A and B are shown apart, each in its own frame.
Chain A
Amino acid sequence: MSESTLTAKDFATDQDVRWCPGCGDYSILKQVQSVVAELGRKREDIIFISGIGCSSRFPYYMNTYGMHSIHGRATAIASGLKATRPELDVWIITGDGDSLSIGGNHLIHLLRRNFNVNILLFNNEIYGLTKGQYSPTSQQGKVTKSSPFGVLDHAFNPSAVALGADCSFYARTMDRDPRHLKEVLKRGNEHAGASLIEIYQNCNVFNDGAFFTFTDKETKGGSTLFVEQGQPMTFGENKEFGIKLDGFKPVVVKMNEGHSLNDLWIHDEQDYMKATLLSRMFDVPSEGSMPRPFGVFFSNDRGTYEKALEAQVVEATEALGIGNLDKLISGNHTWEIV
């Protein structure tokens, strides 16, 4: 099939989609199918790899190569695949439990190595598949099946984890904002390196409304900040607020009160220090709190593991010559018995 004729539908499979009705996963699946169609990649060159969890059923619904693996290991599986097949387009589908709890180690190592893959982290702040236990991103105090008196654990901040592991691309988006979601997916796919895309995903069965503050009409204006490259940071229903940097401290200012756009923090995706400031804007939304940033926090090309590995193979071959099996078997010191 020629690539130009592929549409989102061509990426759907004959399998029944088995998420709960109303689950945020549906929206993400739809956007991913449409993005891969628009990218014009061939179906056979795309691989979706997932771990375990609700989101991890994703590969069954993508008409590409795919693997639904074991809990927490999709990142490590993808690393091996990418190391040996650098030309493939590898997508990792994972959740907050899969990637930040049982698979936390593989996630940070993939990020620091910087394999060129896309990691879609479906964060619903709950364990859905096992029916409602708290996850590493659940907020402290949250009452769940396994925390009837409230969660004691301090919640993970995925953006801070990512930047702490020297992730070369981090973005945050939401299932309920398909336009933004699609844009971010495209950006992530364009990035040559590990792209961690955290997607706030509503689990309407076990954690309904966890992110509604960021999507509901009344609240979203004051609680969300959409960052864009080269643009001043403004938010509010009518962009009536701005964010200024007071040294290393972001402060909210009211526009029209002696502040102009020129005073505001201009978003620079290449600036690691400022990206870490964005990652720290992680208050539980409340009156007067900092808004939660969405969009591409950080994007930086720093060379991928698989390219470096290929280069080493080439270098070794130039230095030592193409491997000769008989020479390898005989080694350098032999003797004859006659």
Chain B
Amino acid sequence: MKTTPQETKEITILFAGDSGDGMQLTGNQFANTNAFFGNDLATFPNFPAEIRAPIGTVAGVSGFQMKFGSTEIYTPGDQCNVLVAMNAAGLKSSLHNVEPQGTIIINTSGFDKKNLNLAKYNSNPLEDGTLANFRVQLIDISKLTQETLKDSDLGRKETERSKNMFVLGYLYWMFNRNMEGTERFLKLKFGRKPDILDANLKVLKAGYHYGDTTETFTSRYEVKKASLPKGTYRSIMGNQATAIGLIAAAQKAGLQLFYGSYPITPASDILHELAKHKNFGVKTFQAEDEIAAVTACIGAAFGGALATTGSSGPGIAIKGEALGLAVMLEIPLVVVNVQRGGPSTGLPTKTEQSDLMQALFGRNGEAQTVVVAPKTPKDAFETAFEACRLAIEHMVPVMMLSDGYIANGSEPWAFPNSKDLKPIVPQIARAKDYETEPYLPYKRDDNLVRKWAVPGTPGLEHRLGGLEKQDITGDVSYDPDNHQHMVKTRAAKIDRIALSIPLQTIDQGAEKGKLLILAWGSPYGAIKTAVKRLLEQGYDVSHAHLRYLNPFPRNLGDVVKNFDMVLIPEINDGQLDILIRNKFLIPTIRLCKIKGMPFTANEIIEKVKEIYE
């Protein structure tokens, strides 16, 4: 007997299990298959800070949330329609997030006495009525996996490890997706281990057939293709997009790419990705510490390379002095900060936007840098590319503020063709331009940009340093008037960038009105979704999202003054809010969330409704 699938526009699904249960892999496979099918989607991995967090406990739960649908998707979803709980801790940590009447798929073997104790359940939630208001599917996944592999030569530990494939197969049945993509993936991953490959393929199919043959009364879902803009798509994660953006910029500028970095969560994947691409002439350098990572970049930049470094807040903090040197030297340098919860070690695997002030002011002296921020995983490509363009063309350090949510999130991307990327023109000084006049390191063009004379160029020998410079000549100068002039000039050089970057636009809503939601970085998706719904409900609300945080787009003052009220949601305690109040002298309304978690669309909607009450 076949069930009739229930047609649904969007599904939010959460995989929750032990760190060792393979939830990230399962989630990613499910995401890729849906993307390939033609859905729009957004993903959000949420894992513990410890590599081997205590097994079976709530602290050790590894989660992977995603939303996919036949409509455009901007966030990994608020409340879940479907929860996959591999053990009691997984259920405990996620149940509050499941909608009433939502579907919960439970691996019953993860609910024995030991698991219940570890999850701190006093009674068994499968029996005590806790799940009365949900549609529960109890499956003994471990047992069924063992059954499937009873003829296999693999040990129990290894067979147990493929139980996530059972879940995946079952979901493919439930959502009527085909398994080919995952089969291909498994063949690539386990090509050299035929036993394990065979086991995984078998269990995947067993999961699918289990759905087909046994659960006659279960609901199946039908999520149709999304009507996305035409084009060729791929799936992309934020850190990967950042890395590719850096390579693209180096190629466009005709420069060697150097990436100096010290491992740190959640930025290390940028290093991993770049290290794979030495065939683009990329040189990655795993330095002895954060300071060496950035100062090696300063050396590489002095030598004429596109020098880039990446870290997270704690690492950026100790790079501060060197960034001041880069400001003084006026050399191109791109610094990616994949922000995480702070202060100090803080919440390494959780997201936060609390390094905006650090990016703007976190150095000794008046040491401005350009600051830009991506809004989604795919936007990290364009933002990284733009960061490099500004650094190279304006001879200035640029800070890119990504965050853990963008870094590890993924979404489909209608990627560009390389020939459509903006050209990047390095400000290189050539020997032939200085046959009749001397090279003066701090002589500037109309944008106040100095020329980049790289070692090896005859006749352009010069000395730079961290001591204050005499304007034009670059000689050491302690002259009081010159110092003020140079501080102002370095700032003015950054201000002038505002003349060439795009004007601030309104993402959704009217250009003028009652309420503007102004934001930056990863809250984009939640705000986009919220504003869409609010507009449908007739609210007067608009949304503007900043990519450029220093300098601001030159029309930003006009944009904010077109509204009676400005609401600024941030995953911090109100940092952009301070900047906007200070710059435009307007009252603003804060919405701050500092829980290591992204906003949900509902949180934004509730705040707007509260304002309108």
Q: Are B287 and A76 in contact (CB under 8 A)?
A: yes
A82 to B461: give the CA distance in the assembly, Å: 17
**A39 interface residue, CB < 8 Å from B?**
no
Q: What are the interface flags for B397-436 relative to A under an 8 Å C-beta threshold, 1 for contact and 0 otherwise? A: 0000000000000000011111000000000000000000
Q: Within 8 Å CB of B299, what residues of A?
A: 49, 67, 76-84
Contact B457 A44 (CB under 8 A): yes
Contact with B288, one of A78, A105, A317 (Cβ below 8 angstroms)? A105
Instruction: Assess the B278–A316 pair: CB atoms within 8 A.
Output: yes
Q: List which B378-408 residues lie within 8 A (CB) of chain A.
A: 381
Q: Do A85 and B463 form a contact, CB below 8 Å, given A73-B291, A109-B288? A: no
Within the assembled complex, what's the spacing in Å between the Cα atoms of A156 and B340? 39
Known A80-B285, A328-B277; contact A105-B298, beta-carbon cutoff 8 A: no
Contact A79 B285 (CB under 8 A): yes
Give CA–CA (A320, B260) in the complex, Å: 23
A29-37, A125-133, A329-337 - the one binding chain B: A329-337
Asked whether B303 lies within 8 Å of A64 as measured between CB atoms, the reply is no
B476, CB-defined interface residue at 8 Å: yes
Q: A335: which B residues are within 8 A, CB to CB? A: 35-36, 38, 232-234
Q: Check if A20 is an interface residue, CB within 8 A of chain B.
A: no
**Cα A322 to Cα B296 with chains together (Å):** 26
Contact mask for chain B residues 339-356; partner A; CB cutoff 8 A; 1 contact, 0 none:
000000000000000000
Q: Which of B233, B260, B295, B476 contacts A337 (CB 8 A)?
A: B233
Residues of B within 8 A of A83 (CB): 258, 283, 285, 296, 299-300
**Is the pair A320, B285 in contact by a Cβ cutoff of 8 Å?**
no
A52–B256 Cα distance when bound, in Å, is 29
Assembled-state Cα–Cα distance A159/B464 (Å): 31
Question: Are A329 and B416 in touch, CB under 8 angstroms?
Answer: yes
Map CB proximity to B onto A82-118 as digits: 1 under 8 Å, 0 otherwise. Answer: 1111011000000000000000011001000000000
Q: Which residues of B contact A323 (CB under 8 A)?
A: 247, 251, 277, 279-282
| Nearest-CB residue, chain B, relative to A82 | B299
Residues from 532 to 590 in B contacting A, C-beta threshold 8 Å: none
CB distance from B193 to the nearest CB of A (A): 21
A322 with B35: CB separation less than 8 A? no
Chain B hits for A78, CB < 8 A: 299
B154 proximity list for chain A (CB < 8 A)? none
- Stretch of B142-150, B213-221, B223-231, B594-602 on the interface side: B223-231
A17 sits at the interface (CB 8 A): no
Question: Given A313-B283, A328-B280, is A44 in contact with B460 using a C-beta cutoff of 8 Å?
Answer: yes
User: 0/1 per residue, A25-50, Cβ < 8 Å to B?
Assistant: 00000000000000000111101110
- Shortest CB-to-CB span from A54 to chain B, Å, is 14
Interface size on B, residues (CB 8 A): 72
- Which chain A positions have C-beta within 8 A of B285? 79-80, 83
Question: Is A325 within 8 A of B418, CB to CB?
Answer: yes
Contact between chains at A333 and B258 (CB < 8 Å): no
A273 proximal to B (CB < 8 A): no
Q: Are B464 and A67 in contact (CB under 8 A)?
A: yes
Q: B297 interface residue, CB < 8 Å from A?
A: yes
Please indicate the chain A residues that have their CB under 8 angstroms from the CB of B416 in the complex: 329
Determine if A330 and B325 form an interchain contact, defined as CB atoms under 8 angstroms apart: no
Q: Which of B230, B298, B415 has the most CB of A within 10 A?
A: B298
Which chain A positions have C-beta within 8 A of B279? 313, 316-317, 319-323
B459 at interface, CB cutoff 8 A: yes
Within 8 A of A (CB), among B436-463: 455-463
A214 part of interface (Cβ distance < 8 Å): no
Q: Could you tell me which residues of chain A, from 243 to 284, have a CB within 8 Å of some CB in chain B?
A: none
Q: Cβ of A193 < 8 Å from any Cβ of B?
A: no
Other-chain residue from A43, A80, A317, A326 in contact with B417 (beta carbon distance below 8 A):
A326
Q: How far is the CA of A65 from the CA of B452 in the complex (A)?
A: 12
Q: In this assembly, does B198 line the interface, its C-beta being within 8 Å of a C-beta of chain A?
A: no
- B298 & A77 in contact (Cβ 8 Å cutoff): yes
User: Quick check: is B126 within 8 A (CB to CB) of the other chain?
Assistant: no
Identify A77's interface contact among B230, B282, B296, B456, CB under 8 A. B296
Bound-state CA distance A1–B461 (Å) is 13
Residues from chain A with Cβ under 8 Å of B461 in the complex: 43-44, 63-66
How far is A57 from B364 in the complex, measured between Cα atoms in Å? 22
Closest to B419 in A: A326
A73 with B455: CB separation less than 8 A:
no
Q: What is the 8 Å Cβ interface bit string for chain A, positions 139-163, against chain B (1 contact, 0 not)?
A: 0000000000000000000000000
| B321 neighbours in A (Cβ, 8 Å) | 70
What distance in Å separates the Cβ of A87 from its nearest Cβ neighbour in chain B? 8
* Choice from A77, A319, A336, A337 contacting B302 with Cβ under 8 Å: A77
A108 to B420, CA, bound (A): 45
CA gap between A329 and B233 in the complex, in Å: 10
Chain B residues, Cβ within 8 Å of A238: none
Cα(A42)–Cα(B457), bound, Å: 10
Nearest CB in chain A: distance from B82 CB, A: 23
Q: Measured between C-beta atoms, what is the minimum distance from B426 to chain A in Å?
A: 14
Query: Do A67 and B302 have beta carbons less than 8 Å apart?
Result: yes
Whether, in the assembled complex, A312 has its beta carbon less than 8 Å from a beta carbon of chain B, the answer is yes
Task: Kindly state whether residue A191 has any CB partner on chain B within 8 Å.
Answer: no
Check A69 for interface membership: any CB of B closer than 8 A.
Answer: yes
Please report the C-alpha to C-alpha distance between residue A331 and residue B247 in the assembled complex, in whole angstroms: 14
Cα distance A80–B232 in the bound complex, in angstroms: 38
What's the nearest-Cβ distance from chain B to residue A226, in Å? 35
| Contact partners of A5 in chain B: CB under 8 A | none
CA distance A193 to B50 in the complex (A): 40
Q: A68-B467, A80-B258 are in contact. Are A88 and B280 (CB under 8 A)?
A: no
For this complex, 21 residue pairs linking A to B, each with C-beta atoms less than 8 Å apart, are A1-B458, A60-B465, A66-B461, A67-B329, A68-B465, A73-B295, A80-B258, A80-B303, A83-B285, A84-B256, A88-B303, A88-B455, A312-B278, A313-B279, A317-B278, A323-B281, A326-B418, A330-B234, A337-B38, A337-B229, A337-B231
- Contacts A81-B303, A81-B455, A328-B244 known; 12 new A-B pairs at CB < 8 A: A43-B458, A44-B459, A64-B461, A65-B463, A67-B299, A70-B466, A76-B296, A77-B296, A77-B299, A83-B285, A336-B231, A337-B229
B interface vs A, CB < 8 Å? 32, 35-36, 38, 181, 228-236, 244, 247-248, 251, 256, 258, 260, 277-283, 285, 287-289, 291-292, 295-305, 307, 321-322, 324-325, 329, 381, 414-418, 455-467, 475-476
Across the A-B interface, give the 10 residue pairs with the lowest CB-CB distance, nearest first: A80-B296, A68-B465, A323-B280, A80-B299, A81-B299, A316-B278, A77-B299, A66-B463, A76-B292, A109-B288
